[in-house]
């Protein structure tokens, strides 16, 4: 589908060029009707070709939706084998413990793994925006040439010696995939359920949990860069045009959430025209007019990319009924970040009680070439273990599989996310007034 979108973009440019050419022939003093007609015929032919690609995209979307359809479908032999393995308790796979014997388990077959990935991509996954490399080893290293400011050759007089030039410098990126996992409690009645339902439940759980894990690790990596706050479009323009520069001018995009989309969708130019442009075909993402460029806008749901609160100590000396107050704990360090807890029944003097209020909203607008910025290393292993006697958790969250007639499924995958080029993006936040 990605290739189709690229082709449609190219065709749109060719169609526009042909139309402009036709207008040019008609605007001349000696109108060239024949050449103008040829250009319009060319544009019409390109339109037909574009329509074919658009239909192919719609067909692929329909096929993908049908794959996720909840109507029971005939279960393949491999799916039946997977369901049978579930009923048998996911026996240890002989090749699943190549480096860590204690973590051996049932390795999910490739076709089931594919279904998991399809489900993961059915919701918003940041994985599709970054550079993903599938690896077969626990750790490794990659070499990149450092970006450097070149200086010109020196002028050399006749018979003089050549001056020494600086040699390219390189840097090493190391990766070390770590384990990420969790467990899912299911009733033992599921064991007797249909193969299709067993597969559906596991694929949905594994796919969505994997997606959330990817998103968390990618955002965690992006947030290692210092946050740049802005309050106006001109400040955002500066980050795109100057900070990112021409190196990423043609590949940059803006990643924001629903709050950011709302703000951008209200922006107008001096003539009252909206700056956010939509693609009439519905194939390309919305684009924001930044000077002479149209920057693609990628919108992530607030649930996956939340707006952050900025807090400040209140100056209120009496409790206001329309204000929400918070207390603060932690020391504000990376090891002990500030944590704000809502005061359920505020009383007394909020100022002397060291209460805090939300003073601003920080809307994420991560800007740049995220594929160049972030690299995800995927071990491509997804292992499962099952127990009907294990006890997990504590307190109210404790589960005892034996006593409660449950089956606990534990899933494990191995990933690592690294910043590949910190200059390829700006970790922006749009600062808005709070709604207090």
Q: Exposure of 340 by Cβ count < 10 A (0-12 exposed, 13-18 middle, 19+ buried)?
A: middle
Q: Exposure of 394 by Cβ count < 10 A (0-12 exposed, 13-18 middle, 19+ buried)?
A: exposed
pLDDT of residue 283: 57
pLDDT of residue 1: 52
pLDDT of residue 148: 60
**39 confidence band (pLDDT: 50, 70, 90):** confident
**Could you tell me which of 209, 211, 266, 132 has the C-alpha nearest to residue 409?**
209
- What tens digit of pLDDT does each residue of 45-91 get? 888 888 887 788 777 766 765 655 554 555 567 777 788 877 777 76
Which residue is it, tokens 């339109």? 47
Q: 363 with 300: CB under 8 angstroms?
A: no
228 or 20: which leads in pLDDT = 228
pLDDT over 60 (residue 4): yes
Phi–psi pair at 401, nearest 5 degrees: -60, -40
Phi–psi pair at 63, nearest 5 degrees: -65, -40
- Least reliable range by pLDDT among 64-68, 164-168, 210-214, 425-429: 64-68
pLDDT of residue 151: 65
The average pLDDT across 340-353 equals 94
pLDDT over 90 (residue 368): yes
**101 confidence band (pLDDT: 50, 70, 90):** very low
CATH topology of domain 78-142+173-224+373-422: Major capsid protein gp5 fold (3.30.2400)
75 or 326: which leads in pLDDT = 326
pLDDT of residue 324: 94
- What tens digit of pLDDT does each residue of 158-209 get? 777 777 766 677 788 898 999 999 888 888 777 777 777 788 888 888 889 9
pLDDT of residue 83: 81
**Could you tell me which of 185, 246, 281 has the C-alpha nearest to residue 369?**
246
- E-assigned strand segments in 79-118: 106-107
Cβ atoms within 10 A of the Cβ of 153, count?
Answer: 9
pLDDT over 90 (residue 362): yes
How many helices (H) and strands (E) would you count in the chain? 9, 19
pLDDT over 60 (residue 100): no
CA distances from 153 to 124, 156, 162 (A): 49, 9, 9
Which residue is it, tokens 């413990």? 97
The average pLDDT across 18-45 equals 83
**424 confidence band (pLDDT: 50, 70, 90):** very high
The average pLDDT across 368-392 equals 88
CA angle 89, 94, 96 (to 5 degrees): 80
- What tens digit of pLDDT does each residue of 274-319 get? 888 876 665 567 888 887 788 899 999 999 999 999 999 999 999 9
Which tokens hold the place of 83? Answer: 């369901």
**Could you tell me which of 307, 293, 378, 374 has the C-alpha nearest to residue 129?**
374
Q: Give kind and range of the element (H or E) at residue 24.
A: helix 2-27
The average pLDDT across 96-114 equals 63
Phi–psi pair at 288, nearest 5 degrees: -100, 130
CA distances from 433 to 235, 310, 328, 363 (A): 17, 10, 21, 11
**Could you tell me which of 36, 12, 11 has the C-alpha nearest to residue 24?**
36
pLDDT over 80 (residue 320): yes
pLDDT of residue 97: 42
The average pLDDT across 200-223 equals 91
Phi–psi pair at 396, nearest 5 degrees: -70, -20
pLDDT of residue 95: 46
pLDDT of residue 216: 94
The average pLDDT across 233-238 equals 92
pLDDT over 90 (residue 399): no
346 or 389: which leads in pLDDT = 346
The average pLDDT across 90-100 equals 51
**Could you tell me which of 145, 131, 219, 205 has the C-alpha nearest to residue 175?**
131
pLDDT over 90 (residue 18): no
The average pLDDT across 201-223 equals 92
Share of the chain above pLDDT 70, in %: 87
Name, of 43-52, 130-139, 289-298, 353-362, the range with top average pLDDT: 353-362
Residue 360 in 3-state DSSP?
strand
pLDDT of residue 116: 86
pLDDT of residue 96: 43
Compute the mean pLDDT over every residue in the chain, rounded to the nearest whole number: 83
**375 confidence band (pLDDT: 50, 70, 90):** very high
286 or 223: which leads in pLDDT = 223
The average pLDDT across 83-106 equals 61
Distance of CA 209 to the CA centre of its chain: 14
């Amino acid at each position: 589908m990605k290739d189709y979108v690229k082709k449609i973009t190219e065709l749109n440019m060719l169609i526009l060029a042909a139309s402009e050419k036709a207008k040019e022939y008609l605007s001349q003093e000696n109108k060239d009707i024949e050449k103008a007609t040829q250009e319009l015929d060319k544009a019409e032919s390109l339109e037909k070709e574009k329509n074919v690609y658009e239909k192919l995209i719609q067909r692929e979307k329909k096929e993908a939706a049908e794959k996720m359809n909840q109507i029971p479908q005939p279960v393949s032999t491999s799916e039946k084998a997977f369901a049978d393995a579930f009923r048998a308790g996911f026996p240890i796979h002989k090749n699943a413990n190549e480096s860590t014997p204690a973590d051996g388990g049932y390795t999910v077959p490739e076709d089931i793994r594919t279904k998991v990935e399809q489900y993961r991509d059915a919701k918003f996954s940041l994985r599709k925006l970054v550079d993903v490399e599938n690896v077969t080893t626990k750790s490794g290293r990659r070499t990149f040439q450092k970006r450097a400011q070149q200086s010109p050759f020196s002028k050399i007089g006749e018979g003089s010696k050549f001056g020494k030039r600086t040699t390219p410098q390189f840097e090493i990126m190391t990766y070390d995939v770590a384990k990420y996992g969790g467990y899912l409690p299911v009733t033992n009645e599921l064991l007797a359920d249909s193969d299709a339902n067993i597969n559906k439940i596991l694929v949905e759980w594994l796919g969505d949990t994997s997606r959330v894990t990817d998103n968390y690790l990618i955002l965690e990596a992006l947030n290692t860069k210092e946050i740049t706050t802005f309050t106006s479009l001109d400040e955002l323009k500066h980050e795109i045009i100057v900070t990112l520069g021409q190196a990423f001018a043609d590949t940059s995009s803006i990643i924001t959430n629903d709050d950011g989309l709302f703000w951008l969708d209200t922006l107008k130019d001096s003539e009252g025209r909206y700056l956010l442009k939509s693609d009439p075909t519905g194939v390309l993402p919305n684009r924001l007019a930044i000077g002479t460029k149209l920057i693609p806008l990628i919108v992530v749901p607030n649930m996956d990319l939340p707006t952050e609160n900025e807090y400040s100590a209140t100056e209120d000396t009496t409790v206001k009924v329309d204000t929400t107050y918070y207390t603060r704990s932690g020391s504000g360090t990376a090891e002990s970040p500030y944590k704000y807890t809502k005061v359920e029944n505020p009383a007394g003097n909020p100022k002397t009680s060291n209460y805090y209020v939300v003073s601003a909203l920080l809307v994420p607008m991560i800007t740049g070439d995220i594929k160049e910025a972030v690299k995800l290393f995927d071990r491509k292993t997804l292992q499962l273990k099952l127990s009907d006697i294990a006890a997990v958790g504590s307190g109210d969250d404790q589960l005892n599989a034996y006593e409660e007639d449950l089956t606990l499924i534990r899933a494990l995958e191995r990933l690592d996310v690294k910043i590949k080029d910190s200059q390829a993006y700006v970790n922006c936040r749009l600062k808005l007034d709070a709604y207090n």
